[in-house]
Chains A and B, each alone.
Chain A
Amino acid sequence: AQKITQTQPGMFVQEKEAVTLDCTYDTSDQSYGLFWYKQPSSGEMIFLIYQGSYDEQNATEGRYSLNFQKARKSANLVISASQLGDSAMYFCAMREGNNAGNMLTFGGGTRLMVKP
């Protein structure tokens, strides 16, 4: 079974509007972390936001917020006030356990296109 699922291969959003990118995950671990990365066409992976499994508050970082619904095992990324520069691939990822040596497993990604 897929550990990280992103069901939207591509999304359009109008500039200045908000957009939600979906992510669901599957794990039997109690301790895990969820991450969102942005990958522009140049290829680098840019860390956006992190949510720990024990965090009670939804994470926020500037225009990014993570809608964490633990019971549903979802960790959707919300981008407010979209900008043209937000056009990129977005990957949801999970680290199981609480160890610096644990790798990230990535979802299939969502390509976001911001329309002017």
Chain B
Amino acid sequence: GAVVSQHPSRVICKSGTSVKIECRSLDFQATTMFWYRQFPKQSLMLMATSNEGSKATYEQGVEKDKFLINHASLTLSTLTVTSAHPEDSSFYICSARPDTPGGGSPLHFGNGTRLTVT
């Protein structure tokens, strides 16, 4: 089945530093990938849609200069949290869907990255 690999799974960083999270589709191509954030005991909230070869589309309220997204190839998207602050501590999870026609294929998720900013 389709596999999405996300690294790192867990990261602790100091305030003011930047953290890069990678999301790779291992056995399929994905023109579009999605980045979600999940706070404890809450649902997944879409942060941005990552489009290969073009700028990401950010959801309302998400700072594009803080959460930099680069979708450099059909199998790799990266999310960089710049100048991280404790309130950025959260579970970040990426997802991708194979570039096949039709609506039935589900989004496949990475295993998520738990970010803790001290």
Residues of A within 8 A of B (CB): 31-33, 35, 37, 42-45, 47, 50, 52, 91, 95, 97-101, 103-109
Contacts and interface: CB of A to CB of B under 8 A. Distances in A.
Q: How large is the interface on B (under 10, 10 to 19, 20 to 34, 35 or more residues)?
A: 20 to 34
A32 B103 CA distance: 8
B111 A35 contact: no
Contact of B109 (A31, A45, A52, A95): A45
Q: From DSSP, what is the main secondary structure of chain A's interface residues?
A: loop
Contacts of A97: 103
Contacts of B108: 47
28 contacts: A31-B103, A35-B107, A37-B109, A44-B110, A44-B112, A45-B44, A45-B93, A45-B95, A45-B109, A45-B112, A47-B109, A50-B104, A50-B106, A52-B103, A52-B104, A95-B103, A98-B102, A100-B31, A100-B97, A100-B99, A100-B100, A100-B103, A101-B31, A101-B32, A101-B49, A103-B46, A103-B49, A104-B95
A33 B103 CA distance: 7
Q: From DSSP, what is the main secondary structure of chain B's interface residues?
A: loop
Contacts of B93: 43, 45
Given A43-B111, A98-B103, 15 more contacts: A35-B106, A37-B109, A42-B111, A43-B91, A45-B95, A45-B112, A91-B43, A91-B44, A98-B102, A100-B97, A101-B32, A101-B51, A103-B34, A104-B34, A105-B46
B69 to A, nearest CB: 14
Contacts of B100: 100
